[in-house]
Amino acid sequence: MKMARVQCLWKRLMVCSVTLLCCILLRMYYHQRYPWMWSNLPHSAIPSHPMAPYIVQENVKCSANDSTEVIPSHLPQSYQEFLRHRHCRAFPILQAPSPCEDDLYLLLAIKSTAAQVERRSALRDTWGRAGRIQGRRIKLVFLMGRSHDKVQGHDLQPLLEWENRCYSDILQWDFVDSFLNLTRKEVGFLSWFSRACSSAQFVFKGDDDVFVNTENLVEFLRAHKPTNHMLTGHIHGGSVPWRDEGTKYFVPVEMYPDRKPYPPFPSGGGYIMSRQTVLGLDVMAQKVKLFPLDDVFVGLCLREMGLNPTFHSGFLTFGFSAGHQRLGPCVYQEIMVVHKLNPVEMRVIWLLMQDTLPCA
């Protein structure tokens, strides 16, 4: 009986997701072709609260500086560019979210890209929805760069601007959204937090394809103080650099010599931090050399701070093991985070978790 309900919900959510995406793309098409029609959005699409004042207005330009780094010609072009601009940390903010409330308890800072419309929609409708959990205020913010992606030849930037006018939850910088720029996204977020959102007591940092049991997360945080250092998640220890240029996580010898292990670092899929640790990371992120892997960069900063991140078995940042039952409310009762779920799975899991039937 329960399996039939799951299948029914699955089909309904698939139809809803496809319909939603089509509507958004159609609206974007008309926005591009007939801009005069959208010069004034309806009042319902404009947030009632003011936009955050922390927007970098000046035109910050960062030029390549070959004299600061030795640039080996044998490296892939993207890594050569990374080294030429390794000193570039500050970029203009193109879009900012609504202001952080004074009583903000938990900030959900989620890395996303322009094309992941369905993922953002699923998060807003499920575990990332604004409000309170156990009486504590939470807030969702998406961290994004500038995208070159197009849909049917149309730039996605107008879509992001429309999204932010509707939801006021996008923090976007003026650098290309790429894998090697995830570290700049990290640095930008830490800087923004210190200047515009330090009222938040705790921060969850993660990807847009994770499912978070926010009830468990808030319950876990009850035992911690925002004024103490804390970073918890799935922690990698003893990892060494990958030297194969064909891999996603390639790091050349010039950036990390020999095969000396990285310091312990949290899996970027999702981890939780106290305010004190976020503020400390912001200071250290301005001193430690930028590194092409953002989660390793966090580990390098933690090492300089003299902090050790804490492992927690409830952070399944590599997803479930093969053959594991993914759908079902009881599966998620004991966990904090599960990585690598699609938007439909997130919606189904969220609906199932609202079921009051007891777990066997």
Report pLDDT digits (tens) over 150-208. Answer: 888 888 999 999 999 999 999 999 999 999 999 999 999 999 999 999 999 999 999 99
Confidence (pTM)? 0.83
Q: Which CATH class is domain 67-353?
A: alpha beta
How open is the CA angle 257-261-264, to the nearest 5 degrees?
A: 130
Q: What does the pLDDT look like over 102-133, one tens digit per residue?
A: 999 999 999 999 999 999 999 999 999 989 99
CA-to-CA dists, residue 138 to 47, 55, 94, 218, angstroms: 17, 22, 24, 10
CA-to-CA dists, residue 109 to 15, 139, 193, 224, 242, angstroms: 28, 8, 10, 19, 28
Q: Does residue 18 surpass a pLDDT of 80?
A: no
pLDDT for 240 equals: 93
Please report which confidence band the pLDDT of residue 36 belongs to, taking 50, 70 and 90 as the band edges. very low
Please enumerate in sequence order all residues whose Cβ is within 8 A of that of 293, keeping only pairs 6 or more positions apart, or say none: 182, 183, 249, 251
Q: Enumerate the domain spans of the chain.
A: 67-353
More confident call, 126 vs 319: 126
SS3 17: helix
Of 61-65, 141-145, 204-208, 237-241, the range with the lowest mean pLDDT is: 61-65
304 vs 123: CA distance, rounded Å: 34
Q: Determine the residue type at 211.
A: F
Q: Which residue, among 214, 145, 155, 148, has the nearest Cα to 180 in the 3D structure? A: 145
Q: Which residue, among 219, 217, 215, has the nearest Cα to 204 in the 3D structure? A: 217
How open is the CA angle 220-108-229, to the nearest 5 degrees?
A: 50
SS3 271: strand
CA-to-CA dists, residue 142 to 93, 124, 210, 251, 274, angstroms: 13, 10, 13, 27, 19
CA-to-CA dists, residue 182 to 96, 138, 150, 185, angstroms: 18, 24, 20, 5
Give the orientation angle of helix 157-167 with respect to helix 117-125, to 10 degrees.
10
SS3 106: strand
For the chain, what is the radius of gyration of the CA atoms?
Answer: 21
28 near 159, Cβ under 8 Å? yes
Q: What does the pLDDT look like over 74-94, one tens digit per residue?
A: 899 999 999 999 999 999 999
Please report which confidence band the pLDDT of residue 359 belongs to, taking 50, 70 and 90 as the band edges. low
Q: Does residue 257 surpass a pLDDT of 50?
A: yes
Q: What does the pLDDT look like over 298-316, one tens digit per residue?
A: 999 999 999 999 999 999 8
